[in-house]
Structure 1
Amino acid sequence: MTPPVEVSLAWAGDGAAHLRGLMNRLGDDAFAAPSALPGWTRAHVLTHVARNADAMINLLTWAKTGVVTPAYASNAQRDADIAAGATRTPAEIRADVEETSDRLSHVVKKMPEEAWSATVRHRDGSELPASRVPWMRAREMWIHAVDLDAGASFADMPVPMAVELVDDVAADLSARPGIPAIRLVTAEGDREWTVGDMSGPVVRVVGPLADLAAWLAGRGRSRAVRRDDGTAPPDLPGWL
């Protein structure tokens, strides 16, 4: 399920402000330092955030006009643009992140109500309603803020959004073959999810909501996320 557009837009806006704050507190020399994503510097992460805004604008333009406008020209071009953009000066990268984010906000404000129900295509080829685009942007903002490795964590994310994120990732992973059967339970005991094919043996994994979200999203594993017997949870494939 996709959150209502107005809810996703609020989360995306708060996430953009959160990420901008982290970015603007970084010294210029910090842009070339490694991020939490293998092979990417912080400059790569921030360039990706800017190009993602362009991609979301393309999808919303498609929804509004009916003219096929892919998020990216190709995956190869996407990767090349990020690699090239990461070599720019910190000032250029900061300006790019802010300008593209503001432009996306302007496009969103001009979206006709009926356009949100139009069907567009993700870069993986899957079809989705345009109403899902704000949710995708919200995920990008909050998760890549953590990827900057500049002090952010999944605990910064609004709790209702963290719940939606676990819903989203659990459903996505469950659709993939070979995922172990897992029952996720928050440490508070107030929420639970299932992941994988539940017809076989099931592993129960418990942890705080923010830590469960981080682990599912492939952003590390807190010691607080454990099986019932205290051992580490099973390994999961990467996501986003």
Structure 2
Amino acid sequence: MSRNDTSETLPWMRAGTEHLLAVVDGIPDGDLTAPSALPGWTRAHVVAHVARNAEALVRLATWARTGTEQPMYPSPEARDAEIEETSGRSPEVLRAELAATARELDEALGALTPGQWEATIRNAQGREILATEIPFLRIREVWVHAADLDTGASLADLPAELVDLMLDDVTATLSGRAGCPTLLLAPTDRERVWRIGDPGATPAPVVSGPGESIPAESAPLGEVETQKAPAADLLGWLTGRAPASVLAGTPPELPRWL
């Protein structure tokens, strides 16, 4: 599965949207103002962010379709102010905007021709990407923020293929951050390992799951797999959605994912 293969990412985007909408529909109106799992944000802030994110991605799709540059957000400050303002709207409006903006994004992506999908645009961080990456950007929003609503949804809800794709993305992102430790990550429910940190450095202990860390140089994959550590737990730790206690020993501190 590739983050640029829209034949795979568009269905996962749509499934994630349905998942998120179901989670939000299950929250009583009065509980939308309760704290989310994200510091300083209520559940309403999370819903507001995902709705406004859909509009931002529509701007990228429009850029790809027309060739006229349309940044996701005018500035980080404008983005934050928009989320704050939206979070104060009524539950009925919040729910309606979440669904409507998701539909608008799906329609905007559906309007792209094969050539327009290959257009070069820029994400919110200013990095050049192909328009084919837009569905993956949305995948991260709908699936991860469903867990952030703190109602029982979690990263374990992600399909296995999507967990693997997210691990590919998150490990690559963290490895480019200052202060990222060098680690091998060995999910017990996978036949592969992931790595973060300096690709030229000697790996630190394998991070697998509850129990003791095993030095990378003496840890055959079979031994690592006998420990209990689902890939979703590793993804949760890497993205700041699960505590370090889900892993082996005392893993090092990580830089912020996004």
TM over 0.5: yes
Q: Which structure has the larger Rg?
A: 2
Measured after TM superposition, the shift of residue 121 of structure 1 is 0.8
Alignment of 1:16-165 (within 5 A): 16-165=17-166
Alignment of 1:161-240 (within 5 A): 161-188=162-189, 190-198=191-199, 199-206=201-208, 207-221=229-243, 223-226=245-248, 231-240=249-258
Over 3 Å counting, the alpha-carbon distance change for 1:201 and 1:155 in structure 2 is closer
47-56 vs 211-220, which deviates more?
211-220
Give the TM-score normalised by the residue count of structure 1: 0.95
Q: What SS does the corresponding residue of 1:35 show, helix, strand or coil?
A: coil
The superposition leaves residues 148-171 of structure 1 with CA deviations (integer Å, 9 ceiling, x where unpaired) of 001101110010000000010101
Work out the CA distance in 1 between the residues paired with 2:154 and 2:92: 25
Contact 2:57 2:134 in 1 (8 A): yes
Measured after TM superposition, the shift of residue 224 of structure 1 is 3.4
Over 3 Å counting, the alpha-carbon distance change for 1:3 and 1:162 in structure 2 is farther
Work out the CA distance in 1 between the residues paired with 2:252 and 2:35: 27
The superposition leaves residues 65-92 of structure 1 with CA deviations (integer Å, 9 ceiling, x where unpaired) of 1000011111111000000111111001
Work out the CA distance in 1 between the residues paired with 2:203 and 2:135: 37
172-181 vs 194-203, which deviates more?
194-203
Letter in 1 for 2:243: R
Q: Which runs of 5+ in 1 are unaligned?
A: none
Q: What SS does the corresponding residue of 2:71 show, helix, strand or coil?
A: coil
Work out the CA distance in 2 between the residues paired with 1:188 and 1:35: 29
Contact 1:208 1:224 in 2 (8 A): no
Contact 1:185 1:205 in 2 (8 A): yes
126-135 vs 216-225, which deviates more?
216-225
Q: What SS does the corresponding residue of 1:68 show, helix, strand or coil?
A: coil
Work out the CA distance in 1 between the residues paired with 2:72 and 2:190: 39
Letter in 1 for 2:254: L
Over 3 Å counting, the alpha-carbon distance change for 1:38 and 1:150 in structure 2 is same
The superposition leaves residues 191-231 of structure 1 with CA deviations (integer Å, 9 ceiling, x where unpaired) of 201100141451210021110111111112263321xxxx1
Contact 1:70 1:121 in 2 (8 A): yes
Contact 1:218 1:237 in 2 (8 A): no
Give the TM-score normalised by the residue count of structure 2: 0.88
Q: Which runs of 5+ in 2 are unaligned?
A: 209-228
60-69 vs 189-198, which deviates more?
189-198
1:9 aligns with 2:31: no
Contact 1:72 1:78 in 2 (8 A): yes
Contact 2:190 2:231 in 1 (8 A): no
Percent of aligned positions with the same letter in both sequences?
Answer: 42
Q: What SS does the corresponding residue of 2:168 show, helix, strand or coil?
A: helix
Work out the CA distance in 1 between the residues paired with 2:184 and 2:256: 19
Measured after TM superposition, the shift of residue 113 of structure 1 is 1.1
